[in-house]
Structure 1
């Protein structure tokens, strides 16, 4: 049985499988409250207001702030299923019916009860090592929001708006 077949079967059983740096990780499918947070956060995503001057303004305006929820992404060193992946443009047509290979600009994870270590300790360094520019982790139990970029970690309490390097803004 191939890895994609295994993942499809696991999904049918309500199990999310991921591979991080060769390490298989599993968790139960998210519960309703978790999905409500994911939906709310994804719906808040928008482009930053046009900036008249400043370095990188043209890059920010080019980003379409497209979100994908709960889809498999093949990274160079693993296969993950972020709660929300943010892209500046639609992934290529040939990827849209299978695992995406386009690296997202940003990833947002909502901490799942019982899987805090996976969401807080395993995921963020992995995403950054794979080329994701912004990693946000929201813990609904504590309202803690971690915002990670290479060499920088900030901790805030929700509700908060965060501007991403790609030119998008999100509310957590």
Structure 2
């Protein structure tokens, strides 16, 4: 694939998002207003767990390009790190401690069939998927089995952050 960043910029300008997962190009329409409002609500809830002693800063960002060690590139709806990534103007290479995906209409397979197994294989400790149509939150921790909750639910992440989804 020719320059990923160039393709990504061109598709962004046309209203699409590009990801490159396990050698497969995945293109989807840019998120709609409802999707963005959900992301903002969830991001606003992210905070350090006051009961824990983990030194996690709970740094989070929405829709940021992340380049993974295998060369894959994804843009999770929300990524959470314990420290500020070094990269501020390019793709982030620091692995997130947690990712949150909000299912968009017609794109459930991208998040559930491609995204969750990828994040598990890479070793992301907490993977959270919200289906706003059913108000169901699905949570995978350390590659383990899925646990489902009705939304809203407050989750304590392994890194020491708390999030309400």
2:63 to 62, 67, 70: 70
Q: Structure 1 residue 151: deviation in Å?
A: 1.8
Output the aligned Cα RMSD.
Answer: 1.0
The SS at the match of 2:25 is strand
The reply to whether residue 79 of structure 1 matches residue 80 of structure 2 is no
The SS at the match of 1:126 is helix
Q: Structure 1 residue 125: deviation in Å?
A: 1.2
Q: Structure 1 residue 115: deviation in Å?
A: 0.2
The reply to whether residue 103 of structure 1 matches residue 87 of structure 2 is no
The SS at the match of 1:155 is strand
- 1:142 match: 134
Structure exhibiting the larger radius of gyration computed from Cα positions:
1
The reply to whether residue 160 of structure 1 matches residue 161 of structure 2 is no
- 1:42 match: 43
Distance of 1:145 and 1:50 partners within structure 2: 23
Distance of 1:15 and 1:146 partners within structure 2: 26
Q: Structure 1 residue 119: deviation in Å?
A: 1.3
Distance of 1:18 and 1:3 partners within structure 2: 9
The SS at the match of 2:5 is helix
Q: Which structure 1 residue ranges, 4+ long, deviate > 6 Å from structure 2? A: none
